[in-house]
């Protein structure tokens, strides 16, 4: 939560959760502290828009259609959790957490959005705006939501909103499910390898990456 008695804690900057190279401020417009590391919900199973369910649609893109590790429930009736036994592709070959930075709706001069990544709780600027408003602490990974995708246009329909990325040249850091940290190149084969790394049970061999 990000209100009431939790305020003193949720507004505390945790240096371990902040990348020194990032250009976003350390806190959002309400003073809640940032995290440059978000959970991987897997590869997108539907386009950003133009399909039903839509990732940008309110309460449509639920945990039941996500194949990653940390899932966005987006449901008042069900909760989805991931167990080690569910990671059938191997913990060394599955993304759990990745680096994030600015997007089309979160920038150094625009911190009043529910997608601003916080280190604790939900973002009080969020609303019924689908992934972009409710899942500020989660990202997708595939050929649409590729590493270091730069914002094309302002607005929630831009895929950068749900992409991992950093201010590092050439790639971003990821925590794998086995506890190792990898700097993954932005030039990785996003259609075959990056998408496969995002899925916990797609049974696709990735080899060296």
Single pTM value for the model: 0.88
According to DSSP, residue 178 is labeled T
What is the distance between the alpha carbons of residues 80 and 62, in angstroms, rounded to a whole number?
Answer: 9
Please indicate, yes or no, if residue 156 is contained in any of the structural domains.
Answer: yes
pLDDT digits (tens, 9 = 90+) for 65-101: 889 999 888 777 888 889 999 999 999 999 999 999 9
pLDDT of residue 96: 98
pLDDT of residue 1: 44
Print the domain residue range for 119: 1-204
Please indicate, yes or no, if residue 33 is contained in any of the structural domains.
Answer: yes
What is the distance between the alpha carbons of residues 83 and 70, in angstroms, rounded to a whole number?
Answer: 10
Please indicate, yes or no, if residue 148 is contained in any of the structural domains.
Answer: yes
Please indicate, yes or no, if residue 197 is contained in any of the structural domains.
Answer: yes
Domain count along the chain: 1
Give the residue among 155, 143, 161 at the shortest CA–CA distance from 38: 161
Please indicate, yes or no, if residue 14 is contained in any of the structural domains.
Answer: yes
Please indicate, yes or no, if residue 68 is contained in any of the structural domains.
Answer: yes
Please indicate, yes or no, if residue 209 is contained in any of the structural domains.
Answer: no
């Amino acid at each position: 939560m990000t209100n009431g008695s939790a305020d003193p804690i949720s507004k505390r900057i945790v240096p371990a959760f902040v990348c020194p190279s990032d250009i976003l401020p350390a806190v959002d417009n309400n003073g809640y502290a940032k995290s440059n590391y978000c959970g991987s919900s897997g590869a997108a199973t539907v386009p950003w828009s133009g399909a039903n369910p839509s990732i940008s649609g309110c309460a449509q893109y639920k945990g039941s259609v996500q194949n990653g590790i940390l899932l966005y429930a987006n449901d008042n009736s069900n909760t989805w959790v991931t167990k080690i036994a569910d990671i059938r592709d191997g913990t060394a070959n599955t993304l759990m957490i990745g680096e994030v930075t600015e997007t089309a709706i979160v920038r150094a001069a625009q911190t009043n959005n529910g997608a601003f990544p916080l280190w604790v709780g939900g973002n009080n600027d969020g609303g019924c705006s689908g992934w972009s408003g409710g899942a500020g602490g989660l990202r997708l990974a595939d050929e649409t939501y590729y590493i270091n995708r730069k914002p094309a246009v302002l607005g929630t329909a831009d895929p950068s909103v749900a992409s991992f990325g950093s201010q590092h040249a050439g790639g971003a850091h990821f925590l794998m499910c086995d506890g190792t940290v990898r700097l993954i190149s932005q030039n990785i084969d996003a259609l075959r390898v990056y998408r496969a790394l995002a899925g916990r049970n797609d049974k696709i061999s990735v080899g060296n990456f």
